[in-house]
Amino acid sequence: MTVIRRGDFVASTLQSMSWRQLAITALGSYIVYKILSPVYAFWKNNRSPLRKLPGPSTGGNFLFGHTLAAFKDESNNLQRGWVRDYGETFVIRGMLGNYQLITTDTRANTHILFASHIYQKPSFERAIITGFLGEGLLSTEGEQHRDQRRILNPAFGFSHIRDMTEIFLDKSALLREVLTNKCIDAGGTARIDVLDWLSKATLDIIGKAGFDYEFDTLNENGAMDELAKAFDEVLRKDASKWDQIRMLVNYQFPVIRAIAPGSSERASEFGKKKMNEIGMRIIQEKKQAILEEMGGGRIEKKAVGGKDLISLLLQANLAADLQPSQRLSDREVLAQIPSFLVAGHETTSNTTTWAMYSLATNPKTQKKLRAELLEVTTENPTLDMLNALPYLDYVTRETLRIHNALGQSTREATQDDIIPLGTPIQDRSGNLVSSIKVNKGDQVHVPIFLVNHSKEIWGPDADEFRPERWENVPSEASTIPGITPNLMTFIGGPRGCIGHRFAVAEIKALLFHMVRGFEFSLAVDPSEVYSKSGGIARPQLRKDNSVQLPIYITPVA
């Protein structure tokens, strides 16, 4: 009797199939996999040890759990309520009912953030980021992320940020000049959308400091730059809610995207292609300039060249002492450009806008900060001079605490693990537990907003904007595992925000010129301003849900 081995049978079967049959089989197998995967996930997640922890049993639905409600929540009120009802460690339900852990326990978050080999960004989230921005620092994990960070770290060192401060201040001064002219044209006081103007300024800043590129968006007489236009197309911030949902679903199901891409996706792909073309041109020009300047010699650590982030990255990537296996490919270098644009433009402009909101609604704080800034005898202070201004530092830190751009950071366990707790909790059965077991595939949320607003850490006035609290920081805040002391805003561990020094210096430079140059107040009632908890916390107006922050500005006499 002839024995047919399984491998031979499969090989012979595949060889006998036409390309069309193979394609149909592959597509069918992929669809079946995608259909069965949620079923398996539902079965697996309902065996999760997280089900024993306290948490809301209502308020969600079978398909999305509490995810949609949390995403549409205003000012994180839903999560505040969960902390009030269930304590600092609890679970919610995600897609298809899977249990997801949320904890403000700083010992638990320290474990999660520093065990980055176990807790990584969920594959779905990484697929979305990669789809929009490429394989840059924001989307990669493991050895690839470590290699990229190793190359980028020197560029974000304090000495380089000190050199870039001149750019921050020059663009901030230009913003002040443009807005002063607006006031003159308006007869003294002008109404502006400060978010829009700060977005222009931060885009110009990251263009110049990031890759020595002039977007020139503060120049109202110029045409929109081609790279800025491409970046807008990639992000599609003006897309309808339906288009946004469709794009997110299609990044989870690439086959659907390939067969029937939507209009927003086609525009986004066109923008991405254009952005990559311009970005690669910038990289090749800078690489060639570095090589020519070195005359074909070895590039040492202290190589000459541009002082922008991409030039510094390329210098480090071409250094003679770097192993070939550790060098980044041109594609990886290219992916840093949109990553810089998102991290150095979107988040910083929104954070600075919220600083203006807080100062506009707290006139005494605004006046106190202005008095300190007016004591500076130069319009172009150094970074050391900015950092020596205590109240500017307090206002900046309090803004980062109260108005963090991202409400949470999600991680997925790549293996079974036990998370230690600093404060024991009671499970659903009333048992006291001092650690939490998680299974491979379980998701945990590091609740940036909740930690920054924790009354256990910051006291009963934790939700109030009070810069003076930084004169005497509570001892409990020292346990927060942030890369910036006493703050969760930039998170911590191996994936802590590499650009935290850049962001803080940029915010201080913008506030220096805006507060020194203008008196300002809200142009709408404070109750009309809110933000959504999902994504970047942008200010919105209730009357039409538009993303803006209108204020009145008057030049300081």
497 annotated ligand-binding residue: yes
Under 8 Å between Cβ of 409 and 444: no
* CA separation for the pair 371, 359 (Å, rounded): 13
Category of 134 on φ-ψ map: left (φ > 0), alpha (ψ -120 to 50) or beta: left
3-state SS, residue 520: strand
CA distances to 36, 72, 126, 492 from 499, in Å: 41, 28, 20, 12
Q: Beta-carbon neighbour count of residue 92 at 10 Å?
A: 25
Please name the residues in contact with 131: beta carbons below 8 A apart, sequence gap of 6 or more: 251
Please name the residues in contact with 432: beta carbons below 8 A apart, sequence gap of 6 or more: 424, 425, 426
What are the contacts of 218-225 at 24+ separation with CB within 8 A?
218/171, 218/174, 218/175, 218/178, 220/178
451: exposed, middle or buried (Cβ count in 10 Å: 0-12, 13-18, 19+): buried
Element (H, E) at 106: helix 106-114
Report how many helices (DSSP H) and strands (DSSP E) the chain contains, helices first. Answer: 22, 12
213's tokens: 């590129």
477's tokens: 């805040």
Q: Which residue has the tokens 């109750």?
A: 527
CA distances to 109, 141, 142, 416, 447 from 119, in Å: 11, 10, 10, 10, 15
247's tokens: 């794009």
Task: Name the DSSP class of 530.
Answer: E
Binding site membership: which residues?
Answer: 497
Binding site membership for heme: which residues?
Answer: 497
